[in-house]
Structure 1
Amino acid sequence: MTERPDHDAWNAFCDALRAAGDRILADDFPTSAPEERAEGFRHLAQQAACWLTWSVGHADPRDPRFMRQNDLFTQWGGPNVDNLYKHARIDAAGAYRIRGNMHSCEEFLMALRIGNMHQEKYGTLAEVTATDLGIGPGDAFEILVGGPEPADPAVRWVPIPDGARMVNIREYYYDWHEAEPAVFTIERLDVPAAVERLSPAAIADGLGEAASQFTGSVEYWNEYQRAARGRGEDNTFIQPRNEPKGLKGLVYAFCFYNLRPGEALVVESEAPIARYWSYQLYRLGWFEPVESIHATGGLNHRQITPDPDGLFRVVLAADDPGVANWLDTGGRSEGMLTFRCAWADNRPEPVARVVAAADLARELPDSPRLTPAERRAQIAAREAHAAWRFRT
């Protein structure tokens, strides 16, 4: 019988798709309601597109290209709504050049990684920020990654640790305004790009990795949220920590909310002394952001207004309470709230409490307010920014 590894790998990938469609209907996934089930199948479709593109279209570190992930269509692993993510394959023995222009991007974090958290082998081996490299908004830049250390100390150079297989860029956008986003390109310097025809073995490897990443992502992040929820009590923060094997500069605190009709969650915190921080809502099961472009499912340090006493308070509610710092749950009674703090000199511990939505005016008498017209203007500005950041 003729061996056809490519055909076998294709069938295995299709089998993984079919199995995942059955798997998410189990009790440990949030698919009991028709709307939740629809979100689940959309998530599977987008994960299939994501990992086929990465594993088949971006498989060769000899000819790397940045792939945009965790954008509007390929969300996994709790992406930050203030980020735009780019990934490229690298060879730890190779030499690369990354060039571009920051335009309106205010910060980036470059991580050299073994793999993604849902893979068997994962972890961040090195990280550096635009600030570390002396790069700011509007700057053109060139960074050498890997290869011999340049003799000129003015050249920006980042060595590649042994075992690194990918470079990940997180672009940060604090002020959501209508402006040109950053541009990044990557090229390999030490070997020519591959030009040979694709072999059955190579496409089989790509399809096999795609199936593994697809299945791993769907299973891992659902269990990740379930395990995190089990570490604490609903409507109470699991206090800040660094993610194991994750980025050293980022701290996370989780609060799983569970609200009855007419209830709201008030979150209070001292001001972090940090270059960046935010509060963001996520869907259970899929770890995708709650709507943050056409609604306020996430707010960062530039978008949250402090109260007169200097504390920061945000309100989770299904309906607009008129409070400026409103996190719109999108009508979801349950979900995950994440507090992120990056490059911080302190580690504030947010506190949450459930209140009646009808009592918010009495509970928060001095908190800044927005009129309906001001809320519409706020959303319009977010939509205009997103149209630029996520344009093709």
Structure 2
Amino acid sequence: MPNGHDNSADTQRNPFDAWRRFTSSLDKAGAALEAATEHYSEDERGDAVRALHRAVTNQLARVEIDETSPEMLPFNGWRQKFFMDNPDCGYFVAEIRDDARYRITGTVSESVFTSVTVYAGTALETTAVGRITSDEFDIADDGTFAVTLGGDDADLDLPTGSDVVWVRHFHEAGALEAGRGTATIERLDRADGRANGRANGPASGPKPTPPGADLEAFAKRLRRSGRTVELIAAAIGETERHEAAFGFNTVRSWEQMSGGAVYTEPGISYVRGSWSLEEGEALVVDVAVPQCRHWSMLLYSRHLNSLDARNRTVSLTGRTAAAGSDGGARVIISAEDPGLGNHLDTEGRRFGVFVIRALQPVAEPELPTTFVTTLDELRNEARP
């Protein structure tokens, strides 16, 4: 009974044991975040609880699943932000089995790039184990596509341990403004274990009646959701201390997110930085725009949620950023817009994090340069 928990088969199947562990994880997450934010303002502490609630909401949507008729769930909406979400990207997520076969269909709409990525792992310790993109699968004239997973002749294998698939649509104008891509999923093999007549066709015969609830699988997912929320709370509680170690108002390559780690997109080069500003100050970031398929720059709170993209300008992309005569983009991070363009709104937050993503860069992007100045100086510069 390590850590005070009974790990017998009966206990692992017991939904009430899973519920106790889930609620215990929520209590631990809340206590850890409360202690970590003890010296923050009332608004910042309230924001911490909002971030925690969004993580819980995100995870609960993935506890109840139907293995016979799986669903692609919209992911990382503004009420379900999860660990450095990206509103310039439309997400869909489905739980899968590594011994089943599926077809994903959808539309790319106005997205500039679409990927289908399979992950394996637990909580935040995951890695990408399979991927296919719009560079590889066929897209019809009307923007529709279809990708098969698992089994003979599939477009994408499902290695042992595969348990979730993500569809991402990258948008230049922002996922909130652009026509959003879509995705749905269907299971192709017979959920009762009987084979199909066709390798990747629909299941032959009538759809079988699904079995009763798999209590062990349900309990496992409930426990996993609780553990994930605990990890999220620990991560966001350490953000400012973590950034201080690298230096505020600076940037660095964020290599930990490369290669599809922690549900990230393989093929992206990440640059991470932070701002720490007094009232009336601004952080100027000179971005050497990378040669790449798509790039974006996005602001996050200290609690690792994107800022309010619904009502403020908190991100720029290759299409929305204005380039200077040298081809670079000078971005101004501040509470007020000084009138020079490429302004990202901090919502008046003293501290926060930003991430620059470069999808399929030709070469490793050059690190931006930064400096702190005053809004008055920038306003003077903006005057004709």
Above 0.5 in TM-score?
yes
Contact 2:286 2:369 in 1 (8 A): yes
Q: Which runs of 5+ in 1 are unaligned?
A: 151-156, 367-392
The alignment status of 1:330 with 2:347, answered yes or no, reads: yes
Percent of aligned positions that are identical: 25
The alignment status of 1:158 with 2:152, answered yes or no, reads: no
Is the partner of 1:344 in helix, strand or coil? coil
Alignment length, in residue pairs?
352
Q: What are the residue-to-residue correspondences of 1:1-392 with 2, within 5 Å?
A: 5-27=14-36, 29=37, 32-55=40-63, 57-58=64-65, 60-115=66-121, 118-119=123-124, 121-135=125-139, 138-149=142-153, 157-176=155-174, 180-192=179-191, 195-198=210-213, 200-223=215-238, 225=239, 228-239=242-253, 241=255, 243-246=257-260, 247-284=265-302, 286-346=303-363, 347-361=365-379
Contact 1:31 1:40 in 2 (8 A): no
Instruction: Identify if the C-alpha distance between structure 1 residues 217 and 280 changes in structure 2 by more than 3 Å, giving closer, same or farther.
Output: same
Q: Partners of 1:272 and 1:34 in 2: how far apart?
A: 40
Contact 2:118 2:131 in 1 (8 A): yes
Structure 1 residue 244 displacement after superposition: 4.5
Q: Partners of 2:338 and 2:38 in 1: how far apart?
A: 27
TM-score (norm 2): 0.83
Instruction: Identify if the C-alpha distance between structure 1 residues 298 and 180 changes in structure 2 by more than 3 Å, giving closer, same or farther.
Output: closer
Contact 1:283 1:335 in 2 (8 A): yes
What is the letter of the counterpart of residue 14 of structure 2? P
Contact 1:280 1:298 in 2 (8 A): yes
Structure 1 residue 350 displacement after superposition: 0.8
Structure 1 residue 255 displacement after superposition: 1.1
Instruction: Identify if the C-alpha distance between structure 1 residues 290 and 185 changes in structure 2 by more than 3 Å, giving closer, same or farther.
Output: same
Equivalent residue, structure 1, for 2:201: none
Q: Partners of 2:289 and 2:214 in 1: how far apart?
A: 56
Q: Partners of 1:31 and 1:40 in 2: how far apart?
A: 12
Structure 1 residue 191 displacement after superposition: 2.0
Equivalent residue, structure 2, for 1:369: none
Q: Partners of 2:163 and 2:246 in 1: how far apart?
A: 35
Equivalent residue, structure 2, for 1:389: none
Could you give the per-residue CA deviations for residues 285-320 of structure 1, whole angstroms, max 9, x where no partner exists? x21001122111111111001123322111011111
Instruction: Identify if the C-alpha distance between structure 1 residues 45 and 194 changes in structure 2 by more than 3 Å, giving closer, same or farther.
Output: farther
Contact 1:84 1:170 in 2 (8 A): yes
Structure 1 residue 199 displacement after superposition: 5.0
Contact 1:280 1:297 in 2 (8 A): yes
Structure 1 residue 249 displacement after superposition: 0.7
What is the letter of the counterpart of residue 15 of structure 1? S
Structure 1 residue 206 displacement after superposition: 3.1
Structure 1 residue 168 displacement after superposition: 0.9
Q: Partners of 1:70 and 1:31 in 2: how far apart?
A: 29
Q: Partners of 2:325 and 2:356 in 1: how far apart?
A: 22
Moved over 6 A (4+): none
Q: Pairwise CA RMSD of aligned residues?
A: 2.6
Q: Partners of 1:248 and 1:228 in 2: how far apart?
A: 24
Is the partner of 1:148 in helix, strand or coil? coil
What is the letter of the counterpart of residue 209 of structure 1? R
Structure 1 residue 144 displacement after superposition: 1.1
Contact 2:114 2:167 in 1 (8 A): yes
Q: Partners of 2:151 and 2:272 in 1: how far apart?
A: 40
Contact 1:107 1:129 in 2 (8 A): yes
Structure 1 residue 82 displacement after superposition: 0.4
